């Protein structure tokens, strides 16, 4: 074990304090996707900036300008750039995380208030929005910093931090910042960075730690059907006019089959089938159908074959229907014909798919299907945001360091996984800085990111903080 014993002990001894700090972070409802919560996203940036400063990090809040969301102009929360350590003899690790969270309301089905963290001492679960995505992991890094500052220990590497507040809403403004800073060369903020580490995903299951070398990309579409000038009474106008909702639901039904097959012509063809060797990678992972059923809370997997199910998430595209804006969805039985409805759906993409190639299949197909309906309503469809898929070299020394760190902390070898989710900035870092990017998760597969009752287990938070610190020692000790 290369990490000093006193560092590990400090993390154990200060667990209670670290948990209450996570509670403070969860209490700030920094929901980037809700305009009304934007001041809280700013509050969260100030809180995090204060924490970093207290721990000896030199920080700079970068104003990313404004954007328009749902027709409202809003200020973008700042990127927090931080640095600590300037030793040219040490490696420099860039750490990324996001301090914004997904929306949450108790009425969505939470058992507790989503923005009041509840620590269940019996189960070890710390419940609250953002506990695992991504406040817990960010605070893991703070725990590492605090241990070193208090103990008077030198950090084994130079650290650079890049924390953003818009990840859950498309990372607006961040790509431009990374590109313009990188263009400044060694004088820019990212000058001298040797590798990037991101802790913003999850173990496959609840037992086995993993390190992750791939993410799916995403193309998010909104299609709108409009007709009447206002909502109509269905008793008065039903069967007299073309109904937007009928058109929209017909179109949505053409996109994906109940077995998950994407029906938009051309999309499935973009991905070559897995050969025997590739299948073996998924066969070997510690995962079972039971793990999926536990995580989703019902026996509803598309297949009973673990490898097929895992490939569905890691190396196949998927199309999900998310919702219908403008539809009647309240309790009761309102007899309305909605005047304008928007269907939201997205496609997760894997190499070698690109957002452009997907868009070029989806847009003409949807328009052609709409034409077949002979409807007098109007259709528009747009790409709201997209990001390309990412796969990294998992034989890189940074991955080796992460593997050794995992073995040291958890006494077992990590699974090597690809993820079904997306973190758009990952590819920007990899391509713009031209360095290796590693995903080193803290939480478990059943944490419920984006869902109700999101949680992080105490042991994942505490052992995960040790893991992040130990990883830095392994990087520092790597002889490359
Ligand atoms: N932490 C997730 C990314 C993630 C999700 C990793 C699932 C592994 C498994 C991140 O915060 C996230 O939610 N990303 C969004 C990105 C989107 C808004 C472009 C996602 O995947 O939906
Ligand atoms: Mn996240
Ligand atoms: Mn997320």
pLDDT digits (tens, 9 = 90+) for 76-103: 999 999 999 999 999 999 999 999 999 9
Residue 184 has a pLDDT of 96
Dihedral of CA atoms 31, 36, 38, 44 in degrees, nearest 10, equals -60
Closest atom of ligand 1 to 220 CA is 19
CB-based neighbours (< 5 A) of ligand 3, an ion: 133
**What ligand 1 atom has the least distance to the C-alpha of 133?**
1
Average pLDDT over residues 182-209: 97
Q: How many CA atoms lie within 13 A of 285 on its CB side?
A: 29
Q: Model confidence at 170, in pLDDT bands (50, 70, 90)?
A: confident
173 lines ligand 1 (CB under 6 A): no
Residue 196 CA to its chain's centroid (Å): 16
Query: What pLDDT digit, counting tens, does each position of 355-385 carry?
Result: 999 999 999 999 999 999 999 999 999 999 8
Q: Is the pLDDT of residue 17 over 80?
A: yes
For the chain, percent of residues with pLDDT exceeding 90: 98
Please tell me the distance from the alpha carbon of residue 107 to that of residue 174, in angstroms, as a whole number.
33
Percentage of residues of the chain with pLDDT beyond 70: 100
- pLDDT of 480 over the 90 cut: no
The response to whether residue 387 sits with its C-beta less than 6 Å from ligand 1 reads: yes
Asked whether residue 38 carries a pLDDT value surpassing 70, the answer given is yes
Q: Over range 327-354, report the average pLDDT.
A: 97
Q: What is the DSSP string of 32-49?
A: TT-GGGHHHHHHHHHHHH
Asked if residue 48 has pLDDT above 70, the reply is yes
Listed in sequence order, the residues at least 6 apart from 52 whose beta carbon sits closer than 8 Å to its beta carbon are: 59, 80, 82, 142, 145, 161
114 in ligand 1 pocket by Cβ < 6 Å?
A: no
Active site residue 100: yes
Whether 415 is in the pocket of ligand 1, judged by its Cβ within 6 Å, is no
- The ligand minimizing its distance to the Cα of 210 is 1
3 state DSSP class of 288: coil
| Pocket test residue of 101, 130, 198, 200 for ligand 1, highest count of atoms within 8 A of CB | 200
State whether CATH 3.40.630.10 applies to domain 5-216+389-477.
yes
Q: Ligand 2: distance of its center to the CA of 325 in Å?
A: 24
Residue 7 CA to ligand 3 center (angstroms) comes to: 30
Cβ–Cβ under 8 Å, residues 199 and 442: yes
200 C-beta closer than 6 A to ligand 1: yes
SS3 content of the chain, % helix, strand, coil (to 5): 40, 25, 40
Q: Which of 100, 181, 194, 200 is catalytic?
A: 100
73 assigned to active site: no
Mean pLDDT, the chain, whole residue set: 97
Model confidence at 407: pLDDT above 90: yes
User: What integer pLDDT is reported at residue 70 of this predicted model?
Assistant: 85
Sorted by where each begins, the domain ranges of the chain are 5-216+389-477, 217-271+316-387
> What is the rounded distance in angstroms from the CA atom of residue 293 to the CA atom of residue 271?
27
Q: What 8-state DSSP symbol labels residue 108?
A: G
How far is residue 82's CA from residue 57's CA, in Å, rounded to a whole number? Answer: 6
Q: Which of 133, 134, 164, 167 is catalytic?
A: 167
CATH hierarchy code of domain 217-271+316-387: 3.30.70.360
The residue to which tokens 């670290």 are assigned: 18
**Residue ranges of E strands in 37-174:** 58-62, 66-69, 72-75, 79-84, 92-98, 118-120, 125-127, 158-164
- For ligand 1, whether the C-beta of 218 sits within 6 Å is yes
Q: Is the whole-model pTM more than 0.75?
A: yes
The region, left, alpha or beta by phi > 0 then psi within -120 to 50, assigned to residue 281 is alpha
The pLDDT value recorded for residue 370 is 98
> Around 156, how many Cα atoms within 13 Å sit in the side-chain half-sphere?
18
Q: Given this model, what pLDDT does residue 1 score?
A: 67
């Amino acid at each position: 074990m290369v990490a000093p014993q006193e560092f590990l002990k400090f993390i154990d001894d200060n667990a209670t304090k670290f948990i209450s700090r996570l509670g403070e972070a969860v209490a700030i409802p920094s929901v980037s996707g809700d305009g009304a919560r934007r001041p809280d996203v700013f509050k969260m940036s100030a809180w995090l900036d204060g924490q970093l400063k207290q721990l000896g990090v030199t920080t700079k809040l970068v104003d990313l300008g404004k954007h328009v969301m749902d027709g409202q102009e809003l200020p973008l929360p700042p990127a927090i750039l931080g640095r600590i350590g300037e030793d040219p003899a040490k490696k420099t690790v860039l750490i990324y995380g996001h301090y914004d969270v997904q929306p949450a309301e108790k009425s969505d089905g939470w058992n507790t208030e989503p923005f009041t963290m509840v620590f269940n001492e019996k189960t070890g679960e710390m419940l609250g929005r953002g506990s695992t995505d991504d406040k817990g992991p960010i605070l893991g890094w703070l725990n590492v910093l605090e241990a070193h500052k208090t103990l008077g220990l030198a950090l084994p590497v130079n650290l650079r931090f890049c924390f953003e507040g818009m990840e859950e809403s498309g990372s607006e403004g961040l790509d431009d910042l990374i590109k313009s800073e990188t263009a400044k060369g060694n004088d820019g903020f990212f000058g001298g960075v040797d590798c990037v580490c991101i802790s913003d995903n999850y173990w496959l299951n609840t037992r086995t730690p993993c390190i992750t070398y791939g993410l799916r990309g995403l193309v998010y579409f909104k299609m709108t059907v409009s007709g009447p000038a206002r909502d109509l009474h269905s008793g008065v106008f039903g069967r007299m006019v073309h109904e937007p909702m009928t058109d929209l639901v017909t179109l949505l039904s053409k996109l994906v089959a109940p077995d998950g097959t994407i029906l938009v012509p051309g999309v499935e063809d973009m991905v070559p089938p897995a050969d025997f060797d590739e299948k073996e990678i998924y066969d070997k992972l510690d995962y079972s159908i039971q793990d999926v059923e536990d995580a989703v809370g019902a026996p509803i997997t598309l297949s009973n074959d673990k490898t097929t199910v895992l490939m569905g998430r890691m190396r196949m595209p998927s199309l999900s229907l998310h919702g219908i804006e403008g539809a009647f969805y309240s309790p009761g039985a309102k007899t309305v014909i909605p005047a304008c409805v928007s269907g939201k759906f997205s496609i997760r993409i894997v190499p070698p798919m690109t957002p452009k190639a997907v868009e070029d299949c989806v847009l003409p197909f949807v328009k052609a299907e709409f034409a077949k309906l002979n409807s007098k309503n109007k259709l528009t469809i747009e790409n709201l945001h997209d990001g390309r898929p990412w796969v990294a070299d998992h034989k890189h020394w940074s991955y080796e360091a992460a593997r050794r760190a995992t073995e040291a902390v958890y006494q077992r070898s990590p699974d090597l996984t690809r993820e079904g989710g997306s973190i758009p900035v990952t590819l920007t870092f990899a391509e713009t800085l031209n360095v290796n990017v590693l995903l080193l998760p803290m939480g478990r597969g059943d944490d419920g990111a984006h869902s109700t009752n999101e949680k992080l287990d105490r042991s994942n938070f505490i052992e995960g903080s040790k893991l992040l610190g130990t990883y830095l020692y392994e990087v520092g000790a790597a002889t490359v």
